[in-house]
Amino acid sequence: MLAVVAAVSLGACSGLKSPPATFDLTAPRGERIGGAPRGQLLVAEPVALAILDTDRVVARPATGQVAYLSDVQWSDRLPKLLQARLLQTFENSSRLRAVGRPGERLTGDFQLVTEIRAFQVTSAGAEPVAEVEIAAKLVNDRTGRIFGARIFRAAVPAADSAGPPAVNAIDQAFGDVARELVRWASGLV
Mean pLDDT over 131-142 rounds to 94
SS3 for 61-99 is CCCCCCEEEEEEEECCCHHHHHHHHHHHHHHHHCCEEEE
Domain region containing 134: 45-188
| CATH code for position 139 | 3.40.50.10610
Collapse the DSSP code of 173 into the 3-class scheme (helix H, G, I; strand E, B; otherwise coil) and give the result: helix
Percent of the chain at pLDDT exceeding 70: 87
pLDDT digits (tens, 9 = 90+) for 64-111: 899 999 999 999 999 999 999 999 999 998 888 888 898 877 777 899
Residue 93 lies in a domain: yes
Is residue 150 domain-resident? yes
Q: Are 102 and 112 in contact (CB under 8 A)?
A: no
**What integer pLDDT is reported at residue 7 of this predicted model?**
40
Q: For residue 11, is it within any domain?
A: no
Q: How many domains does the chain have?
A: 1
The tens digit of pLDDT for each residue in 148-188 reads 999 999 999 999 888 999 999 999 999 999 999 999 998 88
Q: Given a cut of 60, is residue 145 above it in pLDDT? A: yes
How high is the pLDDT of residue 95?
A: 81
Spatial distance between the Cα atoms of 157 and 65, rounded to a whole number of angstroms = 19
Determine, yes or no, domain membership for 26: no
> At how many degrees (to 10) do helices 163-188 and 78-93 cross?
50
- Domain assignment of residue 94, yes or no: yes
Q: Which residues contact 174 (CB under 8 A, 6 or more apart)?
A: 25, 26, 82, 85, 119, 132, 154
At a CB cut-off of 8 Å and minimum separation 6, what does 24 contact? 74, 75, 81
CA distance 40 to 47: 21
Q: What is the pLDDT of residue 35?
A: 59
The answer to the question of residue 62 being in a domain is: yes
Residue 140 lies in a domain: yes
Give the pLDDT confidence score for residue 11 in this predicted structure. Answer: 45
The answer to whether residue 4 is domain-embedded is no
Backbone angles phi, psi at 115, to 5 degrees: -130, 130
pLDDT at 136 over 90: yes
Q: What is the pLDDT of residue 37?
A: 65
